[in-house]
Chains A and B, each alone.
Chain A
Amino acid sequence: MSNVDIDAKIPNNVDLAGDRRLQRALEQWQPKFVRWWEDLGPAAFKRNPVYLRTAVAVGQEGWANFDHVEMPDYRWGVFLAEPEPDRRIAFGDHKGEPVWQEVPGEYRSDLRRLIVVQGDTEPASVEQQRHLSLTAPSLYDMRNLFQVNVEEGRHLWAMVYLLHRYFGRDGRQEADEMLERHSGDPDNPRILGAFNEETPDWLSFFMFTYFTDRDGKYQLASLRESAFDPLSRTCDFMLKEEAHHMFVGATGVGRVVQRTIDLMHEHDTDDVQPHGGINLDVLQKYVNFHYSVSLDLFGAETSTNAANYFAAGLKGRFKEESRDDDHQLKSVYRLVPEATDDGIGTREVTQLAALNETLRDDYTEDCQKGVDRWNRSLADAGIDFRLRLPHAGFHRDVGTFRSRHVSPDGLLLSDEEWQANASSWLPTDADRAHVQSLMVGVTEPGKMAGWVAPPSRGIHQQPVDYEYVKI
């Protein structure tokens, strides 16, 4: 039996005290997690008290408790959203049947795979970001980084909970392997490519939380529709926390844009680089990069896996129930892009076959909103430059655009044309070096690094100069 009172240590609403299986899971897995956090979690400020939000319950009041906590003492909670009475499967071949409280044997492998792929991204991003605290542009930002990190850690717990609780021995093994794969490890990489890219600087971090975490939001939202009710409820609760990550990205990029505007005005120039800022064209390159690698995460335009998952009821669409169609999608059609040697066109396929593309469309629409906000700042400042999302075919490694060169405007390019222009579309070594040169840690409360504007307000009604991390 455990020598720690797991139930008290782990806030939960899954009857941890009465569930031997889960107790054993946590007893065996928790030390491995702690070791992983120690080895591959944040590299600095490990023991500094951080003003963190901790979920202690799922209700309005419960999920946002703020206090200074040392990260190793963070209470990794296991929470499922409250069950919805008489919930029914909303789509696919089982539409209208009651949702499943246990994993049906028929879908064991598929569900496990979905959970493992989702779960693997959570510790991956912590690993990708582990050195960033050393160069945090402010205590406010450092706190946000750590908040994102601990919540990714909790999301890992959520997925591990499902694996342990519902998938037996195989599930436990998968849970262990999620701590054994490491971002960027050539021999044992994370499952998805984007999670093996390093997050070398804070601009990348903001872009990552805006674009890549947003993919996570859409994946979680489609898993929230799952007929497997515990997965649905887990994802539902994770989405609340994920919103903060989006916020960190959207406001982070926005503050960089604002600072660049301020420097452009102050020095009356478009080139703020000599003044410690980041030029708008470099920001555009970062947008191009992060948006395109995030698009890859949605998979190929047409996918039998996605169709099978949908038909089986494992993974729905974003806001499935508010969609006005038959929710089976076998005889409704849509166009998907198709790149051939002759150019970029479209072809018609069943919506069932094109679920990845549909989710990617929703994602793109969502991404555009933040870009529009950043552009409003530019317009308000009287600057003509506009940030924009590149064409879906730009810099893609998955699907119909793979191994083709497409400009941000959507033109099919020859190798030569691509080579000639790539440096104006994607961050160059020089761009990255400049951004890197700006990365200096600022640990005085209220102070900001010179490349980013202060936030408009602090966290949880605290002032911006609050001591978010006690140094």
Chain B
Amino acid sequence: MTDQTIDFRTDPSRYRHWKLSIEPPVATLTMEVDPDGGLRSDYELKTNSYDLGVDIELHDAVERLRFEHPDVKVVVVTGGLDKIFCAGANIQMLAGATHEHKVNFCKFTNETRNSIEDATDNSRQIWIAAVNGTAAGGGYELALACDEILLVDDRSSAVSLPEIPLLAVLPGTGGLTRVVEKRHVRRDLADAFATRTEGIRGQTAIDWGLVDHLAPASGFHDLIAQRVAERAADSDRPADATGIDLTPLQRSIDGDAVEYGFVKVAIDRSTGSAAITVSAPSTDQPTTGEELQAAGAEAWLVQAVRELDDAILHLRFNETEIGTWVLRTVGAIDGVVQAETVIGADPDHWLVREVRLLWARTLKRLDVSARSLVALVEPGSCFAGTLAELVLAADRSFMLDGTWEDEDDPPPPPSMRLTAANLGWYPMSNDLSRLQTRFWGRDAAYKAAAELVGKDLLADAAARAELVTFTPDDIDWPDEIRLTLEERNSFSPDALTGMEANYRFVGPETMETKIFSRLSAWQNWIFQRPNAVGPEGALQRFGTGSRPDYDPRRV
């Protein structure tokens, strides 16, 4: 890893690896990775292999296509190199990366693929993979995230998941899961597919269900055009709406302080914690989709969530030793509620929908972050509706019972408020709201809490409704918080991550939960095993001409 701060902020004018062309109703995103454009200099990004930098641009493109181009109904992702669609994650990059970088990298790439599916499913911006060359490993997984896969039938281009035979690791971005869960490939064929280095070509790929359409090279463009035309008709995106510019996020980093407009991060290295504070808007916010569109990226609903998303990513990658995130809010509850009203009032407006979905994705990002989340409900806070999700996302929450008695002019005691936002606007990866997840299997408790929508709840009421964990008074508060943070900081980070991941996602499994739990857990185990990462393991031996030497014991 480089010591450089990894920055997730970019825009198409700065892309090195992708070309984005917009011809409504279609956008074409062409992958053409600059081999010398890696985040580190010890590998070359040959044959459209990618590293985090490539994926940061992809993530940016996915977001911009949704917000800036309401008139784009179909996105075609294709390769810009001869005979290569995408070769997947760069192996030298993985071999040289720290374990935490590998895990963070996989998590982020998974989130981006999930957001591609989210775009298809919920924004009705339908993604089609035009696989015009070999799609190996992560390359095929990128195609899997699209709603349909077109493969060129040139007797050489194949789709493959060669990780197991070549690298002794798993396909890390949902490949195994999507093959059987999404594409319904029979499990024995899926097994044959994932153990076959050269992959599957042509009609067999169709027969096995690995791709949807096939065309010879000469007819490939026509196939794409035909599929785009057909799928564009499926989309409800407006042809005549104007997008909003996702203007560059203003961020300053000064020592341990990271500041945006509505989001501030203060790192306390002594307790290994970072306080993430989200401010409520102080001005009236748009109440209709049209007004929201006019306000654009400066609307609180848009700006605050973009900042929060960036802060989460920044902390995940650049502050790996900061293990606890303390979630705080500042401002007026009414301000938050007023700002989110538009989501309930104009839910079908394309931009309102995008904004809600972005909040949902960002809150999910919080859910799957390998950090302890502690929410503090203090006087002056505004945990209402959308922001109350932060309390519900937290592993522990503390709400001050009463006020700061010692202050000359004590502020009003804090309250929190549930709104419609907490009843389904922002599903978790298990497809339940955080409130449903909190009361999984306890319908009466859920119902009782849901009935409190709209009411301001003081600590006592919030505790009775089981919305917060502990409600110390002002005398106990400083010690309770300090001891909690110090204690958390003394536990094994690995054990905490495991415990939190187990508790956060109760209830039904979805493709997403399987990717973030089953796949990630196995992959993280494999990433630690000598068979993959030892000196004689496959990742180290890859490309050296020597075969890996495996320990044959099954564990």
Q: Which residues of A contact B (CB under 8 A)?
A: 20-21, 24, 102-106, 108-109, 166-169
**A102 vs B486: C-alpha distance when bound (angstroms):** 12
Beta-carbon nearest neighbor of B405 in chain A: A20
B451 within 8 A of A: no
Contacts of A109 in B (CB 8 A): 487
- With a cutoff of 8 Å between Cβ atoms, the chain A residues found around residue B406 in the complex are 20
Do A24 and B483 contact each other (CB < 8 Å), given the known contacts A105-B488, A105-B489? no
In the complex, what's the smallest C-beta–C-beta distance from A319 to chain B, in angstroms?
29
Chain B residues with CB below 8 A from A24, complex form:
475
B344 to chain A, nearest CB (A): 38
Q: Which residues of B contact A168 (CB under 8 A)?
A: 472, 476, 479-480, 483
- Please tell me the number of chain B residues within 8 Å of chain A, measured between CB atoms: 18
Report A-chain residues with C-beta under 8 Å of the C-beta of B480. Answer: 168-169
Write the chain B residue with the least CB distance to A104. Answer: B486
Asked if B490 CB lies within 8 Å of chain A CBs, one says yes
User: Does A105 contact B475, Cβ atoms closer than 8 Å?
Assistant: no
- Within the complex, what minimum Cβ distance (angstroms) separates B85 from chain A? 51
Are B470 and A105 touching (Cβ within 8 A)? no
B475 and A21 contacting across the interface, CB-CB below 8 Å: yes
> Of A20, A21, A106, A169, which contacts B486 at CB under 8 A?
A106
The reply on B221 being an interface residue by CB < 8 A is: no
Nearest 3 Cβ contacts at the A-B interface: A105-B486, A106-B490, A105-B487
Starting from the known contacts A105-B488, A106-B490, A169-B476, 4 additional A-B residue pairs (CB-CB under 8 Å) come to: A20-B406, A103-B483, A105-B483, A168-B479
Interface-central residue, B271, B470, B483, by most chain A CB under 10 Å: B483
Instruction: Judge if B142 is at the interface, Cβ distance under 8 Å.
Output: no
Query: What's the least CB distance linking A1 to chain B, in Å?
Result: 11
Set B405, B476, B482: member contacting A105, Cβ < 8 A: B482
Provide a sorted-by-A list of 25 A–B residue pairs whose CB atoms are within 8 angstroms. Answer: A20-B405, A20-B406, A20-B475, A21-B475, A103-B479, A103-B483, A104-B490, A105-B271, A105-B482, A105-B483, A105-B485, A105-B486, A105-B487, A105-B490, A106-B486, A106-B487, A106-B489, A106-B490, A108-B483, A108-B487, A168-B472, A168-B476, A168-B479, A168-B480, A169-B472
Bound: A214/B484 CA distance, A: 36
Interface of B (DSSP majority class): helix
What are the residues of chain B within 8 A of A167 when measuring CB–CB?
479
Which among B470, B475, B484 has the highest number of chain A CB atoms within 10 Å?
Answer: B475
Question: Closest residue to A172 on the B side, CB-wise?
Answer: B476
Which chain A residues border B472 with CB–CB below 8 Å? 168-169
**A169 CB contact (under 8 Å) in B470, B487, B488:** B470
Name which of B479, B480, B488 has the most chain A CB atoms within 10 A of its CB. Answer: B479
Scan B169-202; emit 1 where CB is below 8 A from any A CB, else 0: 0000000000000000000000000000000000
Nearest A residue to B487 via CB reads A105
How would residues 456 to 474 of chain B score, 1 for a CB under 8 Å from any chain A CB and 0 otherwise? 0000000000000010100
Neighbouring B residues of A105 by C-beta, 8 Å: 271, 482-490
- A8-B366 Cα distance, complex, nearest whole Å: 52
Give bound CA distance, A166 to B486, whole Å: 14
Smallest Cβ distance from A395 to chain B, in angstroms? 40
Min CB–CB distance B400 → chain A (angstroms): 13
Min distance, Cβ B271 to any Cβ of chain A, angstroms: 8
For window 75-103 of chain B, which residues contact chain A by CB distance below 8 Å?
none
Q: Which A residues touch B475, using CB under 8 A?
A: 20-21, 24
| Those of B246-295 within 8 Å (CB) of chain A | 271
Give the interface centre of A24, A109, A168 by most chain B CB atoms within 10 Å: A168
Residues of B within 8 A of A166 (CB): 479
CA distance A20 to B406 in the complex (A): 10
| A287: min CB distance to chain B, Å | 45
Closest Cβ of chain B to A312, distance in Å, is: 10
Q: In whole angstroms, what is the CA distance A24 to B490 when docked? A: 30
